[in-house]
Structure 1
């Protein structure tokens, strides 16, 4: 590898690090192909700020008049607090910025309660100035939208829940 290629690679990596910082991302991975058997794989990452979230306890509604002979209720199955564990969660295939509509002012691709077919566009994730349409992996009803328009998402972050 020539010194000129080395300098260009260093400049490229520095530009990726700057992109990571400017967009408040935690990781960015790029493969740069030069020739058939010559490429550069770069992964730039930084530690994400740790956020401590306290779990919220919600009291169940109390029955008006409990009976003395009431049978003990079955224990509910443990529920994960992670939306990515929800059945039907559609996760982000990349790091980027989420857009819920094609352009500002136009209607959203989907809304809670909407029925989608397999392949319908759910939203867009912009990565490196490329608009990537995220399709519905299956038909169903949108029960939750887990991201806000214009927010940044990480790879694997849950976006939408389809049941």
Structure 2
């Protein structure tokens, strides 16, 4: 590579870092193609905000556990929450996880019905929710047919890559 290419790459990486700060992202990965057999793979991440962001989905998951047991009565809720605290939703075999960093939306537009509700039967490929990333609405399909057992995120909540969104059984 020439010195000019190197300087252009440095400027590109600095621009990515600035995007990371401006949009409060924790990670950004880009592959830049220059031509045949010549590319630049860049991954820029911030380590300081990661614990805060990683903690946010956990905090938001707690309300998602609480409504289901509370609907059955007030007494079972403490035991159910204790069991839910032991179970890691990401390790559940029916967990549907976020394929990207973004904002999860449970409905196609504000004020409309949710894509799915707890107890709904879904078919493989059916849209479960949307994750918006960089102004792009990404439909998250059901990986297989099943029944929605739990919704682990709230509408318009931030999600990280790998955050459990729903449980299908």
Tell me by how many angstroms 1:95 deviates.
1.6
Tell me by how many angstroms 1:157 deviates.
1.0
Pick from 48, 51, 62: which aligns with 1:49? 51
Change (3 A) 1:108 1:3: farther
Query: How many residue pairs end up in the alignment?
Result: 146
Which has more radius of gyration? 1
C-alpha root-mean-square deviation of aligned residues, in Å? 3.0
Tell me by how many angstroms 1:3 deviates.
4.0
1:89 paired with 2:95, answer yes
Tell me what 1:99 maps to. Answer: 105
Within 2, Cα distance between the matches of 1:59 and 1:105? 34
What are the ranges of 5 or more consecutive residues in structure 1 without an aligned counterpart?
Answer: 61-76
Tell me by how many angstroms 1:82 deviates.
2.0
Within 5 Å, give how 1:1-163 maps onto structure 2.
1-47=1-47, 48-49=50-51, 58=78, 80-163=86-169
More helix by share: 2
What are the ranges of 5 or more consecutive residues in structure 2 without an aligned counterpart?
Answer: 59-77
TM-score scaled by structure 1? 0.74
TM-score scaled by structure 2? 0.71
